[in-house]
Amino acid sequence: MRIFLLLLATVFSCQFASAQADSLKRKVFVSSGLGFGFPVGDINTVLSPRISNAVGFNIPLRDERIFLYPLVDFMNFGYDQTVRDPDYNSSIQNGSSSIIGVSLMPGLNQFLGSLRLYAFAGPHAQLVHEPRLMTDLAEGSGTIENKVYLTGGLRGGIGAHYKLGSFYLFLESGLIQNFTKMQGQQFYVVHAHGGLKTDITRLTDKIGNLF
């Protein structure tokens, strides 16, 4: 019985060490997830959550605990105009606003076997589309146009991914702040999304060998 328990403990220790070793490898991941952006504060009188998606890369640096996180957001919101635009003769309600964001953030990993916890923060830029309505009373018609502008900001958050067979499941949540106000309100959005990560280390190694 003691020999059996000793063998069982040895096998468990080897499996745990293997899981740790697998997690500590300098792996490159591409992530794709779906989620929502939740407006925080007075901006929720303008924006309402709609499904969004995000694509990013986890690129390890020399120290495997530190990584670089380029991320592209494609966020969608319901939109209610609260401030009249002098260039348009009507305001819009129940419209749609889209925001394309690009972030470049350093991050820090914490390895727990097959579970990886991480945090990240850094600057981002967003291309914002705000809808506007121009009406022609004589024709009884209206035209929806987009007011487009570029703004900078900050983004930070936390996440976790877990190896499940050949798949990596992940969840992330973070706070986004823009430097440009929307409809006179400060832009704060909590973005939460989850999905799958793919290990593309072999591909990046092959590309690196070519150069």
**Confidence check: pLDDT of 71 > 60:** yes
Distance from C-alpha of 41 to C-alpha of 64, rounded to nearest angstrom? 37
Read off the pLDDT of each residue in 164-170 and give the average, rounded to a whole number. 86
CA atoms within 13 A on the CB side of 151: 20
**Confidence check: pLDDT of 90 > 50:** yes
Q: What is the pLDDT of residue 113?
A: 84
Output 13 or 4, whichever has higher pLDDT. Answer: 13
pLDDT in tens, 186-202: 999 999 999 999 988 87
| Mean of pLDDT over the chain | 85
Indicate the helix (H) or strand (E) that contains 158. strand 141-164
Compute how many other C-beta atoms are within 10 angstroms of the C-beta atom of residue 108: 13
| Domains of the chain, start order | 26-210 (2.40.160.20)
CA distances in angstroms from 182 to 20, 186, 189, listed in the order given: 46, 6, 12
By C-alpha distance, which of 126, 186, 188 is closest to 152? 126
